[in-house]
Structure 1
Amino acid sequence: MLTDTNEKGKKALFILLITAGILTSAFLLYKVYRHRSAFWGQSGLSVSVSYGDAEVYFDDSKLGNTPYQSWEVKPGSHLVKVKGPLNSYEATIPFTTNSREVPQVVINRDLGISRSFSSGQNFWIDYKDLSSKISLVSEPSQATVFIDDAEVGKTPYSSSVLSDGEYDLRVEKAGFEPQTARVKIKKNYKLNVSVQLFLIPVPDKSAVIPGSKVVYDLSSDLNELTLDVPLWVNGIVYWNKTRNTALKFSYFIDYLGNIYGADGSPVTGNDKFALKAGDTIAYLGRKSDSGLTNEAKTALERFTGIDLIGKKVKVLSTGTGWLRVRSEPSLTASEIGRINSGDEVSVLEERTEWLKVLFGDGKEGWVSSSYVVEVRP
């Protein structure tokens, strides 16, 4: 009887040991699986886009669609391509062995429609080169770098004095959309950052052209905009779809007289179009032209059948070299300004022997119609 009891006890102990061994092995296998990038020398990749979806390619092989993440990337330099419906982005990035459960390479992009009208951020970790804590480059270069709202320098930028921890990073340059990110600095790696800034296609403030109520002046002195107007138009359309919630335009017209619809497509033919209540037109000109070109004005009149801008007049010789501007259409009204002979001004209103004009820095006043002549295209 005692012998049977001993045998049963040994058998139970054996089963218990076997069960414990199986559970331990399963746990170890689970740990290996979770940390397989460290055990097997793999790297990590995370790819996302700001708007819509995109395809992710790795050395020309499709991996999947955004948002994409993998912990089984082979270390080394690899070509990563992010392909969207309107534009694509690609970069060759060095992948090193990932020793922690964070993607070793992170790519966040706004693919936009072109190189100028797109933006993004690339982050990658380097465990070997510890010459600095962070290294930052930007496109365009010479952008201002802020860390926790303190200006620290211009791109290309690097620092070896940052303490371990998390920081708010901001990169900005006049004429471009700023980029921001929350970054983590640790002593055992260098964080590399590459930032691309989106060229803003519209001015900070859009004002109507003098004498008009529906034509807004978006003129620029940037060659990146004025040398490729069709791309500029589509850049504005994309900007309005993804960022601007205020003023949007029904039509665009450029300094050459070309007209585009609200979707950026060219308006062709000689058919007139009727402006509806609330419609607005954006004028894409060159600041050096100092206002609407004759080509643009002629095209507007041809397509709409009306003079949207209003006529201009030129001040004739007066004997004094200037013409008085009065507060009311009367010789007894007070003088509020003067316009030099030869200057051109926009007409806002007409009365018998008097014209209300726009002069100086947006001032309005009345001049005698006897000393001006209409300027014709």
Structure 2
Amino acid sequence: MRKLKFAALIIGITLVILLVIFYVVGYFRPKSAGLIIETQPQAAVLINGQQEGRTNFEITRAQGEVVIKLIPESFDKPLVPFETKVNLVSGVKTVIRRNFGESLETSSGTVISFEKIGGQEVGVSIISTPDASQVKIDGQVRGFTPYKSSAVSPGSHIISLSAQGYKDESIDVRTYEGYKLTAEFKLAPNTEQASPSPTPEPQEEKPQVKILSTPTGFLRVRNEPSALAREVGQVDPGETFEILEEDEETGWYKIEYEKDQEGWVSNQYASKTESSKETSTPSPTPTP
């Protein structure tokens, strides 16, 4: 009887030790990195020279830098392959979207990647071809590419780019504390024939404010027009916002610094401009 109890005790202790080992190994093992690739038309996916599948493609693998090559499958006309180098980050998904064209110029797409920066900061960097494309985040004009900001909240956002003579491009992204999101856009030329459109009626121009340089590199947004009021957000120098209200006593400006998020900025580091009409994308010139 004693032998049975002793054997049961040994087995119980062994099981506990094994469970602890499995837990510790699983806890300290780095999380896998995610990779999503979507293309039009379908394409073969090569990672570091090895074919891994066809689009639409999703995989988890060890973090690190990899070379992605996409070879489109087309029998109607020759399409140009796409190759890029991305750094896969543990615990987040890198997203590649590509619309193949007969040349690099007529191709388009986006690459969303992440870089760990530590702390609780959320970084966003947006670059594009062509350069100087207009950037909107959640419908608000933020500036032109190349664009950088650390005043974006963690969570889901919509990044949109537009440029004269090119098709608009938008993508849903998710930002994380401690990571910088880099969005690379390649816009395709707008080759559609432009049909004559009626001249739009003049719209009332609304005032706009441009954020100036500050000693801290950003400007605090407060819930009231006072330097003693609670900070609710931050905006970066160079960004422009529509003025919702102007405080007569302090001269501070009320803006929508993020979608559905309003606050006040000091007029000491913000310059009022003549118009807040967003720079619109002109209609493309018809191709001869």
| Same-fold call, TM cutoff 0.5 | yes
* Contact 1:43-1:73 at 8 Å conserved across structures: yes
Q: Which residue does 2:3 correspond to in 1?
A: 7
Q: 2:187 aligns with which of 183, 197, 213?
A: 197
Q: Give the gaps of 5 or more residues in structure 2.
A: 198-285
Is 2:121 aligned against 1:121? no
Query: Cα–Cα, structure 1 residues 73 and 55, in superposed 2: closer, same or farther, change >3 Å?
Result: farther
Is 2:140 aligned against 1:140? no
Q: Which residue does 1:19 correspond to in 2?
A: 15
Structure 1: which amino acid aligns with 2:140? A
Q: Which residue does 2:90 correspond to in 1?
A: 99
Q: 1:109 aligns with which of 98, 108, 112?
A: 98
Q: Which residue does 1:370 correspond to in 2?
A: none
Shift of 1:171: 0.8
Which deviations, in whole Å up to 9, do the C-alpha atoms of 1:199-231 show, x marking residues without a partner?
222124389xxxxxxxxxxxxxxxxxxxxxxxx
Shift of 1:21: 3.7
Q: 1:79 aligns with which of 67, 72, 79?
A: 67
Shift of 1:115: 2.0
Counterpart CA distance in 1 for 2:192 and 2:82 is: 27
Is 2:145 aligned against 1:155? yes
* Contact 1:79-1:90 at 8 Å conserved across structures: no
Structure 2: which amino acid aligns with 1:191? L
* Contact 1:129-1:190 at 8 Å conserved across structures: no
Counterpart CA distance in 2 for 1:125 and 1:19 is: 40
Query: Cα–Cα, structure 1 residues 37 and 68, in superposed 2: closer, same or farther, change >3 Å?
Result: farther
Q: Which residue does 1:90 correspond to in 2?
A: 82
Query: Cα–Cα, structure 1 residues 133 and 74, in superposed 2: closer, same or farther, change >3 Å?
Result: closer
Number of residue pairs matched by the alignment:
195
Q: 1:70 aligns with which of 59, 67, 75?
A: 59
RMSD over aligned Cα atoms: 3.1
Which deviations, in whole Å up to 9, do the C-alpha atoms of 1:210-256 show, x marking residues without a partner?
xxxxxxxxxxxxxxxxxxxxxxxxxxxxxxxxxxxxxxxxxxxxxxx
Greater Cα radius of gyration, structure 1 or 2: 1
Which deviations, in whole Å up to 9, do the C-alpha atoms of 1:39-91 show, x marking residues without a partner?
xxx75432221x33211123333222222333335623x43211102424434
Counterpart CA distance in 2 for 1:143 and 1:173 is: 5
Counterpart CA distance in 2 for 1:27 and 1:129 is: 26
* Contact 2:122-2:178 at 8 Å conserved across structures: no
Counterparts of 1:1-377 in structure 2 under 5 Å?
4=1, 6-26=2-22, 31=26, 36-38=29-31, 43-49=33-39, 51-73=40-62, 75-76=64-65, 78-85=66-73, 86-95=78-87, 98-100=89-91, 102-103=92-93, 105-128=94-117, 133-205=123-195, 286=288
Shift of 1:155: 1.1
Which deviations, in whole Å up to 9, do the C-alpha atoms of 1:270-306 show, x marking residues without a partner?
xxxxxxxxxxxxxx962xxxxxxxxxxxxxxxxxxxx
Counterpart CA distance in 2 for 1:137 and 1:285 is: 27
Shift of 1:27: 5.1
Shift of 1:28: 5.2
Give the TM-score taking structure 1 as reference length.
0.45
Structure number with greater CO (CA < 8 Å, separation at least 6) is 2
Counterpart CA distance in 2 for 1:203 and 1:124 is: 35
